Structure 1
Amino acid sequence: MSQRLNPPEANPALYKALITLEMQIRQSGLPHGLMELVKTRASQINGCAFCIHMHSADALKAGETPQRLLLLSAWRESSLYTAQERAALAWTEALTLLPQTGAPDPDYAAAAEQFSPAELVALTTLIGMINLWNRLGVGFRLEHPRS
């Protein structure tokens, strides 16, 4: 597999706009560790190795444990995640798999119970953003570092 193109080189203005939105999401008040779990889980679903590599490394740097990262794809069967994390991960899966799920009411209700309306908008935007990054990563075959 070889990289198809470099998005920031191919369209610098659009890429800069994406980075600006990413910075706004990072400043939304959502816990950093939670954001990295969401980004990693969506990237696992979408099969974006570049993003999995990046966000799992960022999660570890932010203090996440290797055990929780290894269990992330099976979070429903693990007791290692908080109620807030579980709600965020369920909402992540529901929106990442939107055609199959239709964003079910129970997943929304669980997220709405754990997050304020402003936080829920931030979380939903975060999920949409990582799905966009995944599409760039998979679509253009971005290569993750080998280390």
Structure 2
Amino acid sequence: MKQRLNIQELEPNAYKAILEISKYLGETALSNNSKNLIKIRASQINTCAYCIEMHTAEALKNGEKQNRIFALSAWKESPLFSEKEKALLAATDEITQISNNGLTEDTFQKLKEYFTDNEIAQIIIQIGEINIWNRIAISTQMFHATSNVL
């Protein structure tokens, strides 16, 4: 299979705007660990193989433990994640699957226990940003175009 479209070439201004959001998020106070958990978890929910592969490698490079990555899809039951991380992951699940119930009040209040309002805003933007990339990668079949396996 080959890539359907190259959005970077077809819509360079839009692509550049998304890259600017990514650049901004790279400079926020959120820890690399938090950013990596958001990116991997949202990509799992969206079944974006391209982004799972990319962000898992990035997380490992940043010091994340393999067993935590392996357990990420079952984070609710896993003792490997702190309560702060579970609040972050709950928000990731709920915002990524926004049509289910939105960001619930319970999850929002849990976020407020561990994060400032500015950090919560950054978390919401980070979740939105990875969802944009997931949708681009899946819709254009980016993984299929770059993989030697498929």
- TM-score band by shorter chain is over 0.9
2:46 counterpart residue number? 46
Letter in 2 for 1:83: E
CA distance in 2, matches of 1:145, 1:33: 26
What TM-score comes out, normalization by structure 2 length?
Answer: 0.93
CA distance in 2, matches of 1:28, 1:102: 24
- Residues 37 and 145 of structure 1: is their aligned pair in 2 closer, same or farther, counting only changes over 3 Å? farther
CA distance in 2, matches of 1:70, 1:2: 29
Letter in 2 for 1:119: E
Question: C-alpha displacement at 1:2, in angstroms?
Answer: 2.7
In structure 1, runs of 5+ residues without a counterpart are none
1:32 counterpart residue number? 32
> Helix, strand or coil: the match of 1:71?
helix
Q: After the TM superposition, which of the residue ranges 132-141 and 3-12 deviates more from structure 2?
A: 3-12
1:59 counterpart residue number? 59
CA distance in 2, matches of 1:101, 1:40: 21
Q: How many percent identity over aligned positions?
A: 38
Question: C-alpha displacement at 1:23, in angstroms?
Answer: 0.8
1:104-123 alignment to 2 at 5 Å? Answer: 104-123=104-123
> Helix, strand or coil: the match of 2:34?
helix
1:92 counterpart residue number? 92
Q: Does 1:75 align with 2:75?
A: yes
Q: Deviations over 1:50-76 (max 9, x none)?
A: 110110010000000110000000001
In structure 2, runs of 5+ residues without a counterpart are none
CA RMSD of aligned residues (A): 1.3
Question: C-alpha displacement at 1:10, in angstroms?
Answer: 1.5
Letter in 1 for 2:112: A
Question: C-alpha displacement at 1:102, in angstroms?
Answer: 2.3
- Runs of 4 or more, structure 1, over 4 Å off, are 144-147
CA distance in 2, matches of 1:81, 1:113: 16
CA distance in 1, matches of 2:104, 2:90: 10
- For these two proteins, the number of residue pairs brought into alignment is 147
Letter in 2 for 1:33: N
- Residues 114 and 146 of structure 1: is their aligned pair in 2 closer, same or farther, counting only changes over 3 Å? farther
CA distance in 1, matches of 2:10, 2:85: 36
Q: After the TM superposition, which of the residue ranges 1-10 and 78-87 deviates more from structure 2?
A: 1-10
2:21 counterpart residue number? 21
